Amino acid sequence: MDPVEKAREALRAYPLCDSCLGRLFASMGHGIENKERGRALKTVLHMRLIYEYRYGSDVVEDLRALARVHQPTRRYLRANGIAVEEASCYICGGIMEDVEKYSEGVMKALEGLEINTFQIGSNIPKEVLDREREVIARLGLETAESIKHEVNRRIGRLVGERLGKPADKERPDVVATVDLTTGEVKVVQNPLLLYTSYIKLSRSVSQGKLVPGARKTIEEIIDHVRERFGGTALVLHAAGREDVDVRMLGNGRPAIIEVKKPRRYSGDLSGLRAAELILAPLKPATRNDVRELKAKSKTNIKVYRALALSDKPLTAGDLEKLKELEGVVVVQRTPRRIKRLSPRAKRRRMVYNVVGRLITNRVLELFVRCQGGLYVKEFINGDEGRTTPSVAEALGAKLDVVELDVLEVE
């Protein structure tokens, strides 16, 4: 395809500004803005048409068409007694001439935010988009770029220069959307996601919300992180969850902290220490990390320690029966203590290792290595037959779990 001849065809049918003409050939050439490309095409077409005109070709109508949107051609025709009025661009109606002016509104909307990256979006009038599609379809072009892309890029380039920050389509801190009809700018602040892990030392702290037996929640304790970044709220995404009376020990439970609408996207990434909880140092995370964290929580191997009270004396010989539970798939109906789930639902999880030792003949210490998602208390006490097999079933005893700790998330 000869882009100059195609430009000639386009301008016969439509008056187009430099940007809208150049955008029709956006994929031809690299490192050239559409406005430059359109201006260059008009200049070369101007030279070609004048050459043909001087040598007798009947190109007056093509010259008139070009003159509608090209001042040098209007001057040339005027000198030859032909007057042509300037026309507005058929596609954009002139909005592309100074689209960078909208960067002022973006900068004002971003005042008070300390960001690292941003993205520009835009709302283009429907009639403009319709006219652009019409022109591209009529000319049968496959080299065109969307006007929305150009608007976003041109505004984004100037905003980036003024902020000294890069535009980033993949992980922007904020998205500023410009309405080209009203000039209004709306800013969406993406949440700040921070990867961490926590060690819970208390048996009266719940993970996400207050439940019976809880004095406070993990989210309350780590709210200092929200304050560091000036957010409006904090949400904890953890790889699984422990009951309020269960300690989380070892290297801690992997988690991602979500700070909503932060005023600052950089800040103190150190962890924190409280009497009930230790939070590991923070590092940036993504939404995909949250999805992976949730998915892995169902397959991660976890190691538990439990103390159980037996209704009858046990012997070392009884503990040999625990080997029968290694490598088995445990089937569990929803525990009676969990009322929010269907009681008929069944869960299947693998138990890899079970080791026990007697503290007294009625107090049993157990170490269970299993697949994530196993209801460990019910695996030990059997939950009146709702979990099978179970430690209680193997030992032929009624067991009451008095302490449970997570020792490791592998």
The single-letter DSSP state of residue 282 is P
Dist CA 21 CA 42 (whole Å): 9
| Structure token digits, residue 315 | 């012997």
- Binding site for substrate, by residue number, is 304, 375
336-347 core/surface letters (b: 16 or more CB in 10 A; e: else): eeeeeeeeeeeb
363-386 core/surface letters (b: 16 or more CB in 10 A; e: else): ebebebbbbbbbbbbbbbbbbeeb
How many Cα atoms within 13 Å fall on the side-chain side of residue 246? 22
With beta carbons less than 8 A apart as the criterion, state whether 52 and 59 touch: yes
Angle formed by the axes of helices 60-67 and 34-54, nearest 10°? 150
Dist CA 141 CA 136 (whole Å): 6
Catalytic residue status for 243: yes
Length of the chain as a residue count: 410
Using CA of residue 366, residue 369, residue 373, residue 374, what is the dihedral sign? negative
- Residue 162 corresponds to which amino acid? R
Euclidean distance between the first and the last CA atom of the chain, given in angstroms as a whole number = 60
| Structure token digits, residue 279 | 């939070």
CB atoms within 10 A of CB 225: 25
If phi > 0 it is left, if psi is from -120 to 50 it is alpha, else beta; for residue 382 that is: left
- Residue 353 corresponds to which amino acid? N
Query: What is the 3-class SS of 208-245, one letter each residue?
Result: CCCCCCCCEEHHHHCHHHHHHHCCCEEEEEECCCCCCC
Choose, from 168, 179, 243, 405, the residue flagged as catalytic: 243
CA distances 202 to 119, 188, 239, Å, are 43, 38, 19
Angle formed by the axes of helices 147-163 and 126-139, nearest 10°? 120
- Binding site, by residue number, is 304, 375
Dist CA 59 CA 63 (whole Å): 6
- Residues carrying an active site annotation: 243
